[in-house]
Amino acid sequence: MVLKSVNKLKGQLKVPADKSISHRSVMFGSLAEGHTEISDCLLSADCMSTISCFKKLGIEINVDKEKGHVDVYGKGLHGLTSPSGILDTGNSGTTTRLISGILSGQSFSSTLSGDESLNTRPMKRIITPLSMMGADIKSKNGNDCAPLIINPSKLKGIAYTSPLSSAQVKSAIILAGLYADGETSVTEPYLSRNHTELMLKGFGAEITSENKTATIKPEPKLVGQNITVPGDISSAAYFIAAGLIIPGSEILIKNVGINETRAGILRVCENMGAEIVYLDPKNISGEPVCDLFIKSQPLKGSVIEGEIIPALIDEIPIIAVMAAFAEGQTIIKDAADLKAKESDRIYTTVTNLKKMGADITATDDGMIINGTGALKGAALDSFADHRIAMSMAVAALAAEGTTDIENADCVNISYPNFYKDLLSLTK
């Protein structure tokens, strides 16, 4: 993908539906009794992996790709049936980890496997707590990665203190907790995204959240729901950054989910000196949503660490791009888990931005960026990571000259129309 420097971005757009919420609505709809109707569902490659897994597990799911509409005919907590063959989770960590929790509680065996990247991502983080619950879950090749083989077993409730602030780990345990013999709780160092807790409650589960602990009671009766999925702040992030750093820009981003456990990027932009205008606040399916008006403005460096990290973990590559255009130093710490994403995002962000002339250094748990206020076009690689491709596309429009991004079509994982939407603002 070849992208050239642009003068400004102007216009409005509606970003695609939230990926995390779309996955969960299909999964919980499959475990509920009756019809779950999902409007504005994301139907990117990752969410299609979830849909195809649940179809293989015997659930009728009808997809209208044009409308982003999905009908799930759930069969209740014990309605899944033995899949014929391997469950293919593609590139999706969320599918793999959350479904592992569900499959641990079934009376049949299953094998999960994904693409090359997925099958190198760490699964010990779920194998350990699920095994503590009594699950029979093993890494096929003994390397703590997928393929995972899950055999039937009886699950017991546990109180797990997680070493990681990870919504995927938390959700895997909570979902196994649906099938346990008693209450299950998960405590994390800092609160990660809470979509599982909010949505499961909406389906009828007895689940409570107190500070950093979520607790679930087993064997609830989940009932099908009507869900509208709000826009994804992780997709909006690219337009927020582009609007701020490309001089003369004015962008209205409609229908963005701003759940506090996801909206760390907005707080960072404000700490960097940006003024973001929040318009038309509303609540959609239990999630706060609003429109964001973004105008280009000068940014200053910031320190990003600790509690806020889980609320912006997927946005760090694009925050690094903003930091390159800011005045002063930005330090990103406590984000070592970036190495365990679709690519090692410390390495892939730093490598690409260095090629564009940024003053950026990788650290063990993040990166340090000395803003120079400018970047230059270069030959880049997405490393088949959708968030790296989108971050570098924004950097390319803001940089001088021409940038060529290899493997740019991996945006299909979360945002198939990304380049179309981005380029629509240049006209």
Q: For residues 20 and 30, which CB has a smaller minimum distance to ligand S3P in the complex?
A: 20
Q: Does 314 bind ligand S3P (CB under 6 A)?
A: yes
- Name the strands in the sheet holding 159-161, side by side, starting at the edge strand that comes first in the sequence: 159-161, 184-187, 213-216, 207-210
> How many angstroms separate the CA atoms of 100 and 106, rounded?
10
> How many angstroms separate the CA atoms of 250 and 180, rounded?
51
Q: Does 309 bind ligand S3P (CB under 6 A)?
A: no
Q: For residues 168 and 259, which CB has a smaller minimum distance to ligand S3P in the complex?
A: 168
CB of 192 to ligand S3P, least distance (A): 6
Q: Does 166 bind ligand S3P (CB under 6 A)?
A: yes
Q: Does 349 bind ligand S3P (CB under 6 A)?
A: no
Q: For residues 3 and 26, which CB has a smaller minimum distance to ligand S3P in the complex?
A: 26
Q: Using an 8 Å Cβ cutoff, are 322 and 293 in contact?
A: no
Three-point CA angle 67, 84, 106, nearest 5°: 90
Q: Does 174 bind ligand S3P (CB under 6 A)?
A: no
Instruction: Examine residue 147 and say whether the peptide bond preceding it is cis (omega within 30 degrees of 0).
Output: yes
> How many angstroms separate the CA atoms of 300 and 371, rounded?
8
CA distances from 144 to 148, 191, 351, 400 (A): 9, 25, 27, 44
- Looking up tokens 């079509």 gives 409
User: Is 314 assigned a catalytic role?
Assistant: yes
> How many angstroms separate the CA atoms of 370 and 384, rounded?
27
325 — phi, psi (to 5°)?
A: -95, -5
Q: Does 42 bind ligand S3P (CB under 6 A)?
A: no
In this structure, the strands spanning 110-114 and 87-90 are parallel
Q: For residues 199 and 408, which CB has a smaller minimum distance to ligand S3P in the complex?
A: 199
Applying CB under 6 A, the span of 3-11, 65-73, 160-168, 348-356 interacting with ligand S3P comes to: 160-168
Q: Does 20 bind ligand S3P (CB under 6 A)?
A: yes
Q: For residues 20 and 36, which CB has a smaller minimum distance to ligand S3P in the complex?
A: 20
> How many angstroms separate the CA atoms of 275 and 236, rounded?
16
Q: For residues 197 and 291, which CB has a smaller minimum distance to ligand S3P in the complex?
A: 197
Applying CB under 6 A, the span of 165-173, 183-191, 283-291, 400-408 interacting with ligand S3P comes to: 165-173
Instruction: For the segment 185-214, give every residue that binds ligand S3P (CB under 6 A).
Output: 192-193
330 — phi, psi (to 5°)?
A: -115, 130
CB of 165 to ligand S3P, least distance (A): 7
Total of chain residues touching ligand S3P, rule CB under 6 A: 11
Q: Using an 8 Å Cβ cutoff, are 14 and 42 in contact?
A: no
Q: Which of 137, 172, 163, 140 is nearest to 152 (CA)?
A: 137
Instruction: For the segment 219-248, give every residue that binds ligand S3P (CB under 6 A).
Output: none
CB of 90 to ligand S3P, least distance (A): 14
In sequence order, the 6+-apart residues with CB closer than 8 A to the CB of 228 are 38, 39, 40, 284, 285
Q: For residues 337 and 381, which CB has a smaller minimum distance to ligand S3P in the complex?
A: 337
Q: Which of 198, 289, 313, 405 lies at the binding interface for ligand S3P (CB under 6 A)?
A: 313
Annotate 85-100 with b (16+ C-beta within 10 A) or e (fewer): eebbbbbbbbbbbbbb
- Looking up tokens 């129309």 gives 417
In this structure, the strands spanning 366-371 and 379-381 are unpaired
Q: Which of 9, 123, 167, 375 lies at the binding interface for ligand S3P (CB under 6 A)?
A: 167
Kindly name the residue from 314, 337, 385, 421 that is annotated as catalytic.
314
Q: For residues 301 and 366, which CB has a smaller minimum distance to ligand S3P in the complex?
A: 366
CB of 164 to ligand S3P, least distance (A): 7
Applying CB under 6 A, the span of 67-75, 167-175, 219-227, 372-380 interacting with ligand S3P comes to: 167-175
Angle between helices 233-245 and 316-325 (to 10 degrees): 10
CB of 375 to ligand S3P, least distance (A): 25
Show the site string, 72-111: x = touches ligand S3P by CB under 6 A, - = not.
Answer: ----------------------x-----------------
> How many angstroms separate the CA atoms of 116 and 408, rounded?
17
CB of 119 to ligand S3P, least distance (A): 16
Catalytic residue numbers, as ranges: 314
Q: Rule CB under 6 A: which residues touch ligand S3P? A: 20, 94, 166-168, 171, 192-193, 313-314, 337
